[in-house]
Structure 1
Amino acid sequence: MPVYVGNAHTDAPAERGWLLGHFMPPGDPRHSTDVEVKWGVHPAGDRRAAWATGETRTALLLLVSGEFTLEFRDRAVTLAAQGDYVVWGPGEDHTWHAPRDAVVCTVRWPSVPGWRLPG
């Protein structure tokens, strides 16, 4: 397998923030059917347009900087200190917003071809 060296700020916009997953070309070291990794840069006030529902994967969202709130049907979780994270599993409907500028890293598994939230 070849080696890929990149920069999240440069590479992420090409795939709506995703750096690794099934959607990368076969043969690219970033192609994976096991896991997806996303670099998310969110200005203050940024909000997901719709709830994510019917999710079949597990996810981990890690705060790199700023403040980021994940909303689940039964509670909201605000990540405010660098390194704060939250993990949720299949069936957890969720949405999010950034009260302040935020950078987050999301890891999701497995990588499911064809799954995409509208918008």
Structure 2
Amino acid sequence: MDDSVYVGNAGPDGAGNGGWLLGHFMADGDVRHSAEVEVKWGVHAAGEARARWATDERRTALLVLVSGAFRVELPDRTVLLRRPGDYLVWGRGVDHSWYAERDSVLVTVRWPSVPGYRVEPPTRR
């Protein structure tokens, strides 16, 4: 098999790595290893929330709603993604947290891929 090509499914592939499909945390030599970008297939049950606010962010992020309803808390506003395709982009230095209003699926893209940002698994409210 060609090591420069990977074919998979976001559901099972992401399930073993907190939803993350691509980034610095993939093994060296894996075509999904990247220091430039991270991609996540996020599956969140209704009532799930980020365990704590992300602070001192050093990445830019894009969050796209695939299905469900998902609330993102920012320092100066709350954004509710409720229609498939709704998205939000925030830059470096923007603290944030989130809450799944309904069972939700999202695609997250963050750049660059910076080691050391792992947080506790989401909590249920």
Q: Look up the match of 2:41.
A: 39
Query: How far apart in 2 are the matches of 1:69 and 1:115?
Result: 21
| d(CA) in 2 for partners of 1:21, 1:13 | 15
Aligned to 1:20: 22
In the TM superposition, what is the alpha-carbon distance from 1:73 to its structure 2 partner? 1.1
What TM-score, normalized by structure 2, do the two folds share? Answer: 0.91
Pairwise mapping of residues 14-93 of structure 1 onto structure 2 (< 5 A)? 14-93=16-95
Q: How much does 1:26 deviate?
A: 1.2
Which secondary structure does the structure 2 equivalent of 1:11 belong to? Answer: helix
Match of 2:109 among 102, 107, 110: 107
For these two proteins, the number of residue pairs brought into alignment is: 119
Q: Which amino acid aligns with 1:33?
A: A
**In 2, distance between residues paired with 1:115 and 1:43?**
22
Q: Which runs of 5+ in 1 are unaligned?
A: none
SS in 1 for 2:62: strand
The TM-score, its normalising length taken from structure 1, stands at 0.95
- Structure 2's unaligned 5+ residue stretches are none
Q: 2:89 is aligned with what amino acid?
A: V
Measured after TM superposition, the shift of residue 115 of structure 1 is: 2.7
Deviation at 1:13, TM superposition (A): 1.7
Is contact 2:24–2:38 with CA below 8 Å preserved after alignment? Answer: yes
**108-117 or 32-41, which moves further after superposition?**
108-117
Query: Percent same amino acid at aligned positions?
Result: 63
